[in-house]
Homo-oligomer: A and B are copies of this chain.
C-alpha cells in the first residue's frame, strides 16, 4: 500500500480548477475546503463532500477485509463533514468493481458501510455499481446540514488564535486509517460550544493540512514541537526515537483527527473542560505571516518538508 498523501500535482490541479470558477451566490463554501455548502432555500444549506478511495492507495483488498474497507469508505466522508462542524445525513456510493469481485465481497463491503451508518445515523439513498478493468475504486458522497451554526471553513483562522487538535497523531497506517472514528460529534460541539474559527480533518498529515488553513486564512501557524500529541503507533514506528516519532505525528496521513483554531479564551476553556473521550490539546498559535512552522525545543523555527525538517528559515 502506498502512502495516500495527496501529491503536489493534485493540489496544483485543484488550484487551477478553482481559479477558473466564479461561484454564484448560492455557493456558500466552494472548491478547496473539506466540503462545499450551497443554499437550498433562503434559510437552509446543503453540505456536500466527495472522496474517492483506490485499492492499493487507501486500502489493500489483498490484506484488508471488505467490511473494513466499506467502513473506511464512509468514515472518510463523515470526517469531512466533521471538519465542517456539520451533521451528516445521507450519502450515495459509487463503486467501480474489478471483474474478479464476488457477490460475497460486495455484501461484506456493504456491511462495513452499514456499520458506520448505524453508528452515525446516516442513510444510504442511492449509488452506482459498475464493473470494469479496474481495481476497486469507491467514491462516497455525503450530504449534511449545518446544525445550530454555519459550516466552519478553513479560512477563518485569526492572528492570536490557538491551534488545537483532537486525539493523537501519527502511525495511522498501522491500523487506525481503517478503524478510526470520524469526529462528527466532536466537530459539532466544537462549532456550537467553542466557536472554532477554522477547521480541517487531518488526512494528508498535520503539517500539510494546516498549510491549507494557513493559506486560506492568510496567516502563519506556529506549532510547538513539545505539545504535539504523538500516538502510540507513531512512537512504536519510531522505535524510541523522539524526533522520528514527532515527524510521524506531523507528516503521516489519515489520522482523521480534527485540527482547528479558536480564540485563546475558548481554547483555555476547551483544554480545561476536556469534553472528548479522544482528548484535545493546544499545539500552537496563529501569527501574522504565511505557512506552517514548528517551534523546536531550542526555540528555533523549522519547516517540515517531504524529507524532514528544513532548518534555517526566516523567523
Contact = CB atoms under 8 A, between A and B. Distances in A.
Interface in A132-160: 132-135, 137, 139, 141, 143, 145
A90 B50 CA distance: 13
B40 A40 contact: yes
Interface residues of A, number: 70
B96 A54 contact: yes
Most chain B beta-carbon contacts within 10 A, residue among A7, A27, A93, A132 = A132
Count copies of this chain in the complex: 2
B50 A92 contact: yes
B27 A94 contact: no
Contacts of A132: 2, 54-58, 135
A14 to B, nearest CB: 6
Contacts of A123: 21, 23-24, 27
Contact of A16 (B4, B27, B107, B135): B107
Contacts of A49: 92, 126
Contacts of A41: 40-41, 43-44
Q: Which 8 A-B pairs have the closest CB atoms?
A: A54-B132, A57-B132, A36-B126, A139-B139, A52-B94, A36-B125, A141-B141, A50-B92
